Structure 1
Amino acid sequence: MSDAQLQIRGDIQIQLANVGYELRRIQKALENVTLDRPPDELEQGVLDHTSEALKGVRLAQDHAERVGFYLEELSDDDKSDPIE
């Protein structure tokens, strides 16, 4: 395996770790939505935590797209490497 392929694999591991982090952040934000608040606080609390979860979804999607990009690079490298 070439140095470039090792670097790409390391980048993939980092991005997957980032996806995991964002998923945990989403879970935490959704767990923080509580319905036992006074009505005037309830709507704002739900909006705040839902907004935080959606940010995490977007970031997780960005990291997942990067993984796809890196996998394409690995695939392209495999095609260009001559079989010895």
Structure 2
Amino acid sequence: MIARIALRTAARPARATAPRATALRFYSEDQFGRKEKAHEDQYVRKHQEEQLKKLKEQLAKTKEESAKLEQQIQEHQSKNGSK
């Protein structure tokens, strides 16, 4: 039985690699570069959006603090009767 299996496997022609697998290895460097650049651009845009969001939050907080200070100044001036 082992002899028959050995004969069958020896008689089989060598299988060629799948054309798809070899085609994947030979993609153009330009295509890879474009894909990598697209990923980098996406990361940069996301990072910039996060920074912009933080800056807008800081600006809103600063405006709120400024409004409170202006109100305190007006209250202080109205108590003292001077402008």
TM-score normalised by structure 1 residue count? 0.50
Instruction: Quote the residue 1:55 is aligned against.
Output: 54
- Return 5+ residue gaps in structure 1 as ranges: 1-36
Q: Any idea what the Cα deviations from partners look like across 1:27-47, whole Å, max 9, x if unmatched? A: xxxxxxxxxx71111111100
State which drifts further: 44-53 or 74-83: 74-83
1: distance between equivalents of 2:81 and 2:70? 19
State the identity as a percent. Answer: 6
The structure that has the greater radius of gyration is: 2
| CA RMSD between the two structures | 1.6
Structure 1: 4+ residue segments shifted above 3 A: none
2: distance between equivalents of 1:54 and 1:79? 38
| Greater relative contact order, per chain length (Cα 8 Å cut-off, separation 6+) | 1
- 1:38-77 equivalences under 5 Å are 38-77=37-76
- Residue 82 (structure 1) shift: 3.9
Number of residue pairs matched by the alignment: 47
2: distance between equivalents of 1:61 and 1:40? 32
1: distance between equivalents of 2:81 and 2:65? 26
- Return 5+ residue gaps in structure 2 as ranges: 1-35
